[in-house]
Amino acid sequence: MNIAAIYCRLSDEDRNKSSKTEDSESIQNQKKLLLEFARENKWEVYRIYCDDDYSGLDSERPEFNQLISDAKAGKFNIILCKSQSRFTRDMEMVEKYLHNKFVEWGIRFVGLTDNADTLEKGNKKSRQINGLVNEWYCEDISENIKAVFEVKRKRGEFIGSFAPYGYKKDPQNKNKFLLDLEAAQIVKMIFSWYLEGYGVQHIAFMLNQKGIPNPTKYKELSGLKYKNTFKTDEYGLWNKTTIRRILRNEIYIGHMIQGKRKKVSYKSKKIIANSSDKWVKVENTHQPIVDNDTFLAVQRRINGKVKSTGNGKTHLFASKVKCKDCGSTMLKVTTGKYSYLRCKLYSVSAGNQMCTSHLIRLDELTDLIKDKIKEYFNRYIDVHRVVERLEKEQQTSQSHSIHNNELEKIKNNILEKKRIIKSLYVDKIKGIIDEGQFIEFNKDFSEEIGRLLERQKIVKKEMESHKNDKDNYEERVKNYLNFDKLEQNVVNSMIDHIEIGEKTSKGQKVKIYWKF
C-alpha cells in the first residue's frame, strides 16, 4: 500500500511574484494540488507538512526536519511535493536525500510540476540539473538582494528589522528613524551618568534598581516580536555589556553605521564580524539623542580605560592628571585617611628612579581646581543670558510628555499582568494547571507588578521635581556658579588635562589646560 507524506513550503520570494499570470505558490494551493494528485493515484495521505516563510536552503525548517524524521522511521513510503525546489534548493541535500537516504529508507520522491520522480532511474540527471539550477537561482537572488542592501546602506537608509534602542522606525518610511522619547531619555541618562564618573556596571545596577527594562524587554513590552538569542533572563535586567555598547554607538549622534557583520555565504546562517574599514557610515541621517561633545567625552573616558572605585564612581580627575616631567598619567593611591595622585612611571619603575613621585593630595587638588572654575564662571558667565536660555529650553521641553507616556505604559503593563494572574487562577480552578504551577507563575507576575509599581513612584517623583524646576531660575544659576561640590561632568566639560610638577622649596606647580 502506498502511503504519501505531502510537503509544502512558502518563502518571501514566492510572495512577490514578478507577474500576476504566474501560478500562485500559496500553501493552500500547494495542498489542493497535491491532495488531488494523491487521490487520483489512490495514495493514502499520512500527513501534510508545511513550512511557511522558510528558504529552500534552510536546513533548520521545523516541518522539514519532522518529515525527515518520520521518513527515517518508515511512517510512509512516498514524499510528494509541488516541485523539487519546494523540498530543497540545496544541491547537497538533493544528493543526500533523493539519491541516498531515501533509497536506503525505501522512500519514493515525487515532484509534481517538474516531473522529478526517484522511481524512474532515467530522470536522475534531470533532478541533478534541477538541483544545480535551483541553487544557482538562490545564489543570484542572494547577490541581487546584497546589491540592493548595499545601495540602501550607502544612502543612509536603515535595512535592519528593528530600530536600535532609543529610536523607532518611521511609519511613513521604514528605512528612517524617529525618536522613541521614553527610551531616548534613558540613553541620555546613561551618557550623563557615565560622564558623572559612574562605571558601566554601576550604571546597569542603577537602571535595574529603578525598574527600567533593558532594550530587549522594552521591545517585547512595546509589542515588537524581537528575539535576542543572548538573553539570559526573563526579567529584562541591564548588564555592563549593553551599557558599553550604547556608549560606543555613533547612532546616538545621528550617524548611521551598518555592515558591521555579514553572513559567511548565502547557504550558511553563520555571521562573522566585518573589519571596520568595510562598515558603511553615513553621517547626519536622523535626530541625535546626545550631542557630539558629550559623545567624544565619553569615548575619551572609555579609551582611557578609567576604572571606577568601590562606590561605582571614578575620582574627579581620572585620566586627566599628567606628570609634568614624563607625561605619565597620575595614579590614585590611598594612605591612611588621605588619597594622593602619584606619577605612574615612578610607581612602576620601583627603585630605578625613572621619574619622581610628583605626589599631590587629591583633596587639595580638588579645592584648587574648584576655585579656578568658580573664578572662570563668575568672570565670564552672564547670569541674565543663561536664565533666558533655560526658560526658552523649558518651553520646548518634551520631558513631561515622556513621563506621561511612560506612566501610561506602566499602567497598561500592570493591568495586563493582573489580567494574566486572574486567567491563571481560572486555569487552576479548571485543572488546566496544578497548584504548584499557579504559585510559581503568580509569584513571577506579582514580582513584576511590584517592580512596575516601584518605577511608577520614581517617575511621579521625577515629574514633581521637573515641575519645581520651572521656578527660581536666576537663584538656581547663581547657586550653580557658587557651587560647594565639584562635579565630574563639570570637570569633563571644562578641563582637557592637568599637569603636576614636582614639589620644591618654592611649592608645587599645577597647570590646567582648559578646553576653551
Does residue 204 fall inside a structural domain? yes
User: Do 140 and 39 reside in the same domain of the chain?
Assistant: yes
User: Do 200 and 134 reside in the same domain of the chain?
Assistant: no
| Dist CA 122 CA 190 (whole Å) | 68
Alpha carbon distance, N-terminus to C-terminus of the chain: 90
User: Do 117 and 176 reside in the same domain of the chain?
Assistant: no
Give per-residue pLDDT as tens, 147-192.
666 777 788 888 788 888 999 988 888 888 899 988 999 999 999 8
Does residue 27 fall inside a structural domain? yes
**Entry pTM:** 0.48
**Confidence bin at 399 (pLDDT 50/70/90):** low
Does residue 143 fall inside a structural domain? yes
Instruction: Please say which residue of 117, 151, 185 terminates a domain.
Output: 151
User: Do 232 and 162 reside in the same domain of the chain?
Assistant: yes
Pick 179 or 20 by higher pLDDT.
Answer: 179
Alpha helices, H only, 235-321 = 240-248, 292-303
| Cβ 343 vs Cβ 356: under 8 Å | yes
Does residue 431 fall inside a structural domain? yes
The three three-digit cell numbers of residue 411, written as one number: 499602567
User: Do 11 and 135 reside in the same domain of the chain?
Assistant: yes
Does residue 492 fall inside a structural domain? no
Range of the domain at 442: 397-476
| Dist CA 411 CA 188 (whole Å) | 24
**Confidence bin at 138 (pLDDT 50/70/90):** low
Q: To 5 degrees, how large is the angle CA 111–CA 115–CA 117? A: 65
Number of domains in the chain: 3
Say what the pLDDT of residue 225 is: 61
Give per-residue pLDDT as tens, 178-237.
999 889 999 999 998 888 778 888 899 889 988 889 998 888 888 776 555 555 555 578
Does residue 385 fall inside a structural domain? no
User: Do 140 and 273 reside in the same domain of the chain?
Assistant: no
| Residue 496 phi, psi (nearest 5) | -80, -55
What is the chain's alpha carbon radius of gyration, rounded to the nearest angstrom?
A: 33
Q: What are residue 339's DSSP bridge partners?
A: 334
**Confidence bin at 22 (pLDDT 50/70/90):** very low
User: Do 215 and 295 reside in the same domain of the chain?
Assistant: yes
DSSP element (H, E) containing 11: none
Does residue 359 fall inside a structural domain? no
